[in-house]
Amino acid sequence: MIKRCHTVAELNLLLGERKGTVGLVPTMGALHEGHLSLVRQALEACDQVVVSIFVNPTQFAPHEDFDSYPRTVESDMAMLAGLGDVIVFTPSRDEVYGEGDLPVDSYERPTFTLLCGGRRPHFFGGVCRVVYRLFKMVGPDKAYFGEKDYQQLQIIRQMCRDFDLDVDVVGCSLIRESDGLAMSSRNQYMTDQERATSIQIYAGLRAVREAFSNGDQSVASLRRCFQSKLTDPQWDLDYCEIVGPQTLNSRNSEAILGDRLIVAAVLGKTRLIDNCSI
């Protein structure tokens, strides 16, 4: 059964005595199979599962898509209802941020400026602000995050270490459409033509993995290999990096087995991110 609440007080009533493990799946809604895979994992491992839906204003810059971000709570609830007993937590902005500043609000790490942080310098600070607050509000034993947002996953793990948060952060596999596009709530921004072009990213990832497994370890050559698949002139490549899987530091000369290939590119109005291990 699915139950919805808006405040921490209501949430605590629904959670009751908290016997066993509480799992949290933080989302911004507009749910798809990628989100549902996190919820399924939480339901398998936890006694109670909370899915939060909150479009977090602090992770959007003024020129970004906060206002137009899809908000589809009713259909999100219907999708979750098919999975099992889930508490859907849809707090207001005041419920999340009403208590004012916290030490996490000035939290910074060198990793915030890498990769996605280059074009979105505000982003990881905003993510940490909201995830920290959600952890405090919900008090989960486990929290589920997708490898789709690989940099975010590593940064949240680091935040838990830095603030001594006793939450087991579980990383979940990236879920793709049948043609390879990484599922994302923002994919619906694309025109049909852009959607057809978008699979070039996955073609690029596969080509790099193949080149690496055939012995090409040169970062410059692997990067060229990725770029060669983005044949549509519309692409605006933000970055294509091979990074240490935990440090997120870019390799400059040679890639090592287990590294992460991580990319971001803009197609029209849609910014797509993707990654895979090599």
Q: Which residues are catalytic?
A: 35
Q: Measured from the CB of residue 220, what is the shortest distance to ligand AMP in angstroms?
A: 29
Closer residue to ligand AMP (CB): 71 or 224: 71
Dist. CA 29–CA 56, nearest whole Å? 11
Q: How many residues does the chain have?
A: 278
* Of 142, 129, 150, residue with least CA distance to 54: 129
Closer residue to ligand AMP (CB): 148 or 271: 148
Q: Measured from the CB of residue 152, what is the shortest distance to ligand AMP in angstroms?
A: 6
Q: How many beta carbons lie within 10 A of that of residue 127, not counting itself?
A: 21
Q: Measured from the CB of residue 231, what is the shortest distance to ligand AMP in angstroms?
A: 24
Which residues lie near ligand AMP (CB under 6 A)?
Answer: 27-28, 34-35, 37-38, 145-146, 148-149, 172, 174-175, 182-185
Q: Measured from the CB of residue 148, what is the shortest distance to ligand AMP in angstroms?
A: 4
Dist. CA 181–CA 200, nearest whole Å? 9
Q: How many beta carbons lie within 10 A of that of residue 183, not counting itself?
A: 18
Token pair in block for residue 223: 């990067």
Type of residue numbered 253: S
Q: Measured from the CB of residue 173, what is the shortest distance to ligand AMP in angstroms?
A: 7
8 A C-beta contact, residue 230 and residue 237: yes
CA angle 133–136–140, rounded 5-degree value: 115
Dist. CA 4–CA 50, nearest whole Å? 10
Using CB atoms within 10 Å of the CB of residue 131, give its burial: 0 to 12 exposed, 13 to 18 middle, 19+ buried. buried
* Of 194, 211, 197, 214, residue with least CA distance to 261: 211
Longest dimension (CA), the chain: 57
Nearest residue to the partner ligand AMP, using Cβ: 146
Closer residue to ligand AMP (CB): 144 or 223: 144
